[in-house]
Amino acid sequence: MKIYHHTSAAIAIAPFLLWLLAFSSRVLASHSFHQVSPARSQSRNQHARPSRSSFEPNQQPGATSASTTSLGMGSLVAGALRGGAILGTATATTGCTSATTAVANSLRSGPFGVLALAVVASSVVTPLTIYRQAYSFSTAYALSIMGMAVALLATFDVSGSIPTVSLLAAMVVYGFRLGSFLLVRQATVASKRDLILKFEKTPRLKRVPFALAVGLFYALMMTPALYLCRVASSGGVGLSETANQIVSASGALIWFAVIVQAWTDAQKSLAKRGKDESMDFHGPSQGWFGVSRHPNFMAEIMVWIGVFVGGLPALLNGGQWSSMGVGNAVALVCSVLGFSGIVQTMLGSTKRLETKQETKYGGQLPYEEWKAKTSKLVPSPTKNLVGSILPISISAILAFVTRKVVLHLYL
């Protein structure tokens, strides 16, 4: 049974890994995010490996530069996550190359950016939904967010805007962490595994239209990040000082939320392990759960507040409403739909879980005491101000350190 569960998890994540390999193999090659001065940047462009604009499409398949051949496997993987190639280059006539070229070009400019982002999301969501229908809103959700963030980092040269790099890197970490957690939980917790299997009601091929629609929804949620990249990239108009401050604050909020969600997911899983059938309240009721009954849902909303607010300066064309253009207006509407959709989803999930807990634990003294001292979602200073200081402080410190470490690996 253990072999079966591990095999299932491997099969589930394989389509995303194959997509990542294909997407990084040619079109998204040759860019490492190094923050350098203009003089060094010009020198690097003249003497270092070719940029996207100077990439030769007729380069032989599998050809690698001397610098690439000197790298170890670990550096190649890191390079892929930063936009570098790990499979070498492909011929210009291959279908993969044509598809990824069209997607990358649409991401960079033009009216089809959101649709291109939806292609990236759907390429992750569709195979995982075909494998397990319930994955469309769990594992596929997390990995598609990671996939879109990786695609944006690899397509755009945003090295001149560290806040933009930080925000996108946070989304990569967010998607990878959440996707890994959900896969491990599904493989190790019987009740979660059984719940996922109960959703296997629709024939596999009939799930495709639904998966494409879900992929579009996830693309709408990431649209602010797309337009942020368009403005912040080396080919864009650049961000103003105020816009950079907004993006920086938004990225910090996302990093904070990533830590809160990782902490609370792990804490809740450990507290509930082996107690699936128990009708007694076992917590958790300390840390973040000592001030909020659903801090992981709160963190999820914080992530998307960060993405939406961080992309607003780009969507609003720097506040120049009169010259905003139809494209930005449509993208703004898409962003509002995506943001409002995920917020409503999380608020609905909070309400359903509240009802479930009240039905299961209502009347039990530990539960009633915990409920009395905590807020449903956002910690309230009137209920437990002192208790919120420690988890907020620890999360802020861990977010700062994690951001520093991850950006050091990118830059």
* Segment 361-390, tens digit of pLDDT: 999 999 999 999 999 999 988 888 888 999
Q: Are residues 392 and 385 in contact, defined by beta-carbon separation less than 8 angstroms? A: no
pLDDT value of residue 380: 87
317/358 Cα distance (integer angstroms): 47
Please spell the DSSP secondary structure of 47-58, one letter per residue.
HSS--STT--TT
pLDDT value of residue 88: 37
> Which range marks the domain in which residue 382 is found?
2-410
233/236 Cα distance (integer angstroms): 5
233/239 Cα distance (integer angstroms): 9
283/401 Cα distance (integer angstroms): 29
271/267 Cα distance (integer angstroms): 6
pLDDT value of residue 250: 98
pLDDT value of residue 319: 54
Task: Kindly state the tokens that stand for 273.
Answer: 């392990």
pLDDT value of residue 284: 94
pLDDT value of residue 320: 57
384/287 Cα distance (integer angstroms): 11
Number of domains in the chain: 1
Question: How does pLDDT run across 128-170, given as a tens digit for each residue?
Answer: 999 999 999 999 999 999 999 999 999 999 988 999 999 999 9
Low-confidence ranges of the chain (pLDDT < 70): 1-97, 318-324
Question: How does pLDDT run across 168-205, given as a tens digit for each residue?
Answer: 999 999 999 999 999 999 888 888 888 888 889 899 99
pLDDT value of residue 373: 92
Place of tokens 């491997």: 10
